[in-house]
Each structure stands twice: as structure tokens, then as C-alpha cells.
Amino acid sequence: MKLRVINIDTVEAATEAFKELKVSPQGIDIMSPKAIHRLIKIAGVDSRAANIIKQEMLSRGGDAAAPWELYKLDERKVDIILMGTLRQFDELCQKLALQPFGLPRLAEGINKALYNYAKSLPTIEVGRFKLDLSARTHVMGVLNITPDSFSDGGRYFGHTTAVDQARQMVLDGADIIDIGGESARPGAEPVTSEEEINRVVPVIKELAGELDVPISIDTYKPEVARRALDAGASIINDISGLRDDKMIELAVERCTPVVIMHMQGTPKDMQLKPSYVDVVAEVADWLDGQAEKAATAGLPRDKILIDPGIGFGKNLEHNLELMRRLSEFRSLGYPVVLGTSRKSFIGTVLDLPVEERIEGTLATIIYGVTQGVSIIRVHDVKEAMRASRMTDAIMGRGHR
């Protein structure tokens, strides 16, 4: 007799495992949802409601962790962590839908989070291109047309060198070229919209008709984004996370995919004293709110991507915590973009300068892919593409 612990994290994987055992189709349907165990944290729920939730989860064989104040049955707000199989959560939500204290709405939220966490990623229409995010991880190559970039020190500031670098990144396997004309390094001074336009628009115009991949404009200024879209860009990558309502209006007007990134503060002051109680919860809640704002304004949800903003208003521990818990962002239902390339938290951990952070960057990329990241934003395209493709293959995606 031989035994081992096996790792199954999706209903589809459980179904295949049971088929190999020649389990009956009816048995597979019954048992597959029982094979997947999830933990869900509910924050700020009425203690009376939390008590009902806990008792209902326990009665179905699941469990719930909650503070002892739960049993005072008053109006205080508590956090609770539910633990159970998909089948148990399904039965729980059916019962909660019949209960008071806002529990029907909570049941909808639980079902939505579980669905989002496991759903297949969309194919995003980006101008004349289609990005099938469910097929494999996509690589976004960074092109900084600035004299003061933290990563390359202005290496591609000239028009010709910028165009040549974009071409090389496509040859190296980039699926998207992300062009920016203002440095977002900590402490960077902003530049005028006119200067930013002068830097990026001529390059976009030259590349848009030539490259067989979409171009993203990395800016938080609506006028720069508009001019870039006119020149041929087809994605807006906004480090301010659509704080300017005019950027939302532009995205809706053009039906343009947007990357909503989280940043505490501005590039000039974001690293002075970043502070959070729960960095993942706060970043996720803010991103969800901004995505909802864009969707309410009329932007299709399948045009929205989110980026937790590693290094933007976060210290070392904040960044590491975001990396550890990357998979939680899948619950929001939007593709996740990860930008860790050459960043200072890697340099701090490894005690290395910018030019020697490629191995550390690849470690974050590989881990990110295993946690469900859809797009990796990188400077070293060839190496990142190889690392992500290999990781995808191990995970059963993108391998022919």
C-alpha cells in the first residue's frame, strides 16, 4: 500500500482525478465540489449576523473563526473567517439567502467571490488585437522615454533608441509595449503634459502601424492618454488608478482597456511614510471601488485590469505581504497585472543595485504566475517571457 498527499485546487482537476479512478459520473458531480476547500474572510459584519453564519457553517461540517464578542449578539461589527468546501459554501449561501441582517446580500457576495476566484480569464479586445489571458501569462515590456528612469537611467530617452528598444522587446516575446514619458520613481518631479506628449507621441506614431502587438500608454494625465490613443496606443495604464474622472470619461468614450493601479500618495511623496493596517485588504478594497466607479460610468468590466502597485506607497513588508497574498486579488474578478521588475524591495532583500536584480525579479514573476497573475510588467522581456512560459507549462497552461 502506498499513499501521498495530493494537490487539487480546482473542480476541473478534481473531476479529472476522479475520472482516472473510474468514479461514476453522478459520483463525480457530487464529490468534485467537496474536494475544493476555501477560506473566506468577511470583514465588518454585524455580530448577530456573524453568529448565524457561524452556526450555519458548523452545521454543514465547515468551520468559522470569530472573536468571542460574537456571542454578545449586539450590533458591533466583527470579522469572521469561514472554512469549508465549495459544496458547504453553496449550501450555506442557500440558507443565508433566507435570513435577516443583510445576509442575502452577503450570500451573493460569497458566491461572487468564489466564482471570481476560479473563473477563466477573459479574452480582451485591445484595438485590433485580442489578448487571450486564459491561454497563458502575457508579458508587458516597459519602455521609459525619460531622462531619469530608476531602471535604466534614461537609456531610451532618445527617439531612435526608444523605437529600437520597442522592436527588440517584441522580438524577445513582449505581448504589449508599455510606453511612459514621466518617471514614477520615488521622489520624481512631475513633468508637464506638453513635455510628456512630446516624448511619447512621436514614438507611438512610428510603432503603432509597425508592431504586431498593442501599445499601452503609461500616464495618469487624461490629455496625454488622449493624444497617445490618437497616435495608436490602445491601453491606458494609469498609476493613479483613475483618480481623475476625466480619465474614466476618456476610457468610456473610447471603450479602451485600462489598468487601474494602486498608489498611496504621489511618486514625489509615496515612499515618505506609507501606512496600512491591512495592506492587502485596503489595496483590494480601493481597487474594487475604482473598478466599480469605472464600470458604473459605462466602461465594460472586461476592459478593466487591476495592479496592486508593488513599490508605489509601500515599504518592504507591505510589498512582501502583497506578494504573499496575491491570489486574494482574484476574488475581485479582474485580471491582475504585476509590476515588480527591478524594484527596490528586491534590492533591499538581496542587497543588490538595480542592474543586478534580474534573478530576484524572476522569482517574483514565477511566484506571481502561480498565484494567478495575468500580465507581468517587465524590463527584461526575454528572461521574463521564458520564466513565465515555463511556469505556465508546469501549471498546464500555454504548452503546445
The candidate with the shortest Cα–Cα distance to 220, out of 248, 187, 189, 201, is: 248
Q: Which of 54, 226, 377, 389 is catalytic?
A: 377
Does 343 participate in catalysis according to the annotation? yes
Give CA–CA dist 237/216, Å, rounded.
6
48 belongs to the catalytic site: no
How crowded is residue 39: how many other Cβ atoms within 10 Å of its Cβ?
10
Q: Is 185 helix (H, G, I), strand (E, B) or coil?
A: coil
DSSP string, 213-239: S-EEEE-S-HHHHHHHHHHT--EEEET
Task: Decide: helix, strand or coil at residue 209.
Answer: coil
288/245 Cα distance (integer angstroms): 16
Q: Alpha-carbon distance 134 to 119, whole Å?
A: 10
User: Considering only CA atoms, which of 108, 219, 213 is closest in space to residue 169?
Assistant: 213
DSSP 100: S
Residue among 330, 343, 357, 389 flagged as catalytic: 343
Residue 9, strand partner residues: none
E strand or H helix at 378, and its extent?
strand 375-378
Give the active site residues.
Answer: 343, 377
